[in-house]
A and B are shown apart, each in its own frame.
Chain A
């Protein structure tokens, strides 16, 4: 058994680590709260926009708008990956990176050229290390993403898609189901495919005509899809970090308990030995 002094040293070190992870847990918890509020605040707009686009969408219109164009063959596709700028968030970044690699491999296996766009320092570090070329690298998107961030990410890709230089754009990000469940997910951003048209087709008075409305709303729809993914991803990052740091804190507590026990035992052993020596010495004098 290690001596009492060594054990004391280790206890001190584990205590320091525990304090650190506990602080990070608290910081993540408060950031998570704000990030979750943003996710919920973004939902009414996304829902309402989706509803309107769906009620306007029809197959004939699909041929008139470049963002709805369905390419006959997939020659070149882009993957846009959202990761975090910081680590210490459990498997959060690793999951996203793995998902993006799967998608890239699938596309290549299908004979398509691929291009990779990465936001977040962690994703960039990984692909740089692997020697995988990246078309764009962004690290300027923080904890509170804005619509402008979304536009700056998707704008160039939309232009490329409209000009025919790209046949599909996929977005890899985390879905924010709850703070505990944030699975990675791949969304097909382009071509835009609105969901099924609502069963009840209401007859609207439109101003301007429906195709003009759709023409203006589609870019907003696309940007909003990216925006909601950005806020969900930010919330998922904080959720994962909180979980990871909570586990680390719990592990440190467990370890402290064990170390304290060994320390007490070592101390007890030392005292017992000293008493035995005194008793022995006294006995020798008689």
Chain B
């Protein structure tokens, strides 16, 4: 495992939900959970619906419910853009922001 910590930003359109250092991050991507550790390769994914957990460097963790948006990892900087972020799951899931795995034929690569 690479040394160091991740610099994490979790932002929704209205506000910044979390900003700080983290030792690891587990996020709901469009097709399942993804775990990010320091030293991760550049990564770009759509965010699905579920719990986002940020492990803090000093131990302990913070959890947010997120729905839709995108996740970007570059040079130990993680940016999570989400349409919804809060302690409770969203009442209304922003359907237009969610991509279902069955809608994607990866081999063809067509929109």
A interface, CB within 8 angstroms of B: 38, 41-42, 44-46, 48-49, 51-52, 55-56, 64-65, 146-147, 202-213, 215-217, 219-220, 224, 227
Contacts and interface: CB of A to CB of B under 8 A. Distances in A.
A15 to B, nearest CB: 42
B108 to A, nearest CB: 10
A42 B13 CA distance: 6
Contacts of B29: 207
Sort chain B's interface into a size bin: 20 to 34
Interface string B40-83: 01111110000000000000000000001110101000010101
A147 B14 contact: yes
Contacts, number: 98
A82 to B, nearest CB: 17
Given A205-B43, A217-B70, A220-B97, A211 B16 contact: no
A178 B99 CA distance: 39
A45 B81 contact: yes
A208 B99 contact: yes
Nearest to B15: A41
B99 A45 contact: no
A42 B15 CA distance: 6
Interface residues of A, dominant DSSP: helix
Nearest to B101: A208
Contacts of B106: 208-209
Nearest to B74: A202
Nearest to A215: B111
A52 B44 contact: yes
Interface string B7-36: 001011111100000000000011100100
Contacts of A220: 68-69, 81, 83, 97
Given A42-B13, A48-B11, A49-B81, A208 B104 contact: yes
B78 to A, nearest CB: 11
B111 A207 contact: no
B45 to A, nearest CB: 4
B3 interface: no
Nearest to A64: B111
A147 B13 contact: yes
B104 A212 contact: yes
Contacts of A205: 41-44
